Amino acid sequence: MKEENTTESEKELTISISKNSLWKYSTVVLLAIVVIGAFVMFTGDKSGATGNIVAPTGNNAPSQPSKVTASADDDAVLGDAKAPVTIIEFSDYQCPFCGRFWQQTLPLIKSEYIDTGKAKLIFRDFPLTSIHPMAQPASEAAECVRKAADSDEAYYEYHDTIFANQASLTLDNLKSWAKTQGFNIDSCLDKGEMRAEVQKDLKDATAAGGQGTPYFVINGQPLSGAQPFSAFQQIIESELKKA
């Protein structure tokens, strides 16, 4: 084995060259990071609906179009069909923020506006399957119950059951909850009979500007995220004055 002898001057030269190389490489890497960061900042994420959104309120809220077009389609209605204010909710049964809206805000909207005939709610499906694998089956199951019952009331009873049991979403449970309510949806769910219906809702949600769940359109006014009751109240009251 050959033993390498290195003089002190050679060592100093090697260290000097290594430092210079390291500095050059560091500069290149830093420049690349800056360029990539600037690209992301100015181009943004244009990939569409990819996750949950809780939109900021007040001065931090992002600007939204003053009006958007969203159809009620033929989906289930909660409240008086002739109510002057229509709240279209595009939602995901596995989304925790959608569950928060159902638990904390919807009861206030229901007692103040839906039960009094001032507003109606239209629930439309917006399953974000990339992060919520049970959202699509849950939406299909609810549509199967509505089909079997031929009743919007039965739909919303099942809708409430799903949200009350978000942590227990399985195919077996979806079928079991329907049977408890008096409906056998096994065949409907297994054959995917309502799959196209759910996917149509999702397509309409993105066309109406939805980029996350929950997403609402109130008489054409968009509202994103699990907003507090006051945010809904402001829009609803404004629309009632126009009625």
pLDDT higher than 70, residue 34: no
Q: Is the pLDDT of residue 13 over 60?
A: no
Residue 76 has which token pair? 């289930």
The amino acid at 20: N
Q: Residue 112 contacts by C-beta under 8 Å, 6 or more apart in sequence?
A: 118, 233
Mean pLDDT of the chain: 82
Our CA dihedral for 104, 106, 110, 114, rounded to 10 degrees, sits at 160
Q: How confident is the model at residue 56 (pLDDT cuts 50, 70, 90)?
A: very low
Is there a contact between 85 and 218 (Cβ–Cβ < 8 Å)?
A: yes
Number of Cβ within 10 Å of residue 71's Cβ equals: 14
Lowest mean pLDDT among 15-19, 60-64, 98-102: 15-19
Q: What is the pLDDT of residues 189-240, one digit of tens each?
A: 999 999 999 999 999 999 999 999 999 999 999 999 999 999 999 999 999 9
Arithmetic mean of pLDDT, 42-53 = 38
In 3D space, the residue among 78, 82, 119 whose CA is nearest the CA of residue 102 turns out to be 78
Question: What pLDDT is stored for residue 243 in this prediction?
Answer: 84
pTM of the model: 0.75
Is the per-residue pLDDT at 120 higher than 50?
A: yes
Question: According to the model, what pLDDT value does residue 59 have?
Answer: 40
Res. 1: pLDDT tops 70:
no
Q: How far apart, in whole angstroms, are the C-alpha atoms of residue 101 and residue 168?
A: 18
For range 138-147, the mean pLDDT: 98
Tens digit of pLDDT for each residue in 63-105?
Answer: 455 789 999 999 999 999 999 999 999 999 999 999 999 999 9
Report the pLDDT value the prediction gives residue 24, as an integer from 0 to 100.
Answer: 52
Q: What's the per-residue H, E or C state across the chain?
A: CCCCCCCHHHHHHHHHHHHHHHHHHHHHHHHHHHHHHHHHHHHCCCCCCCEECCCCCHHHCCCCCCCCCCCCCCCCEECCCCCCEEEEEEECCCCHHHHHHHHHHHHHHHHHHHCCCCEEEEEEECCCCCCCCCHHHHHHHHHHHHHHHCCHHHHHHHHHHHHHCHHHCCHHHHHHHHHHHCCCCHHHHHCCCCHHHHHHHHHHHHHCCCCEECEEEECCEEEECCCCHHHHHHHHHHHHHHC
pLDDT cut 90: percent of the chain above it: 72
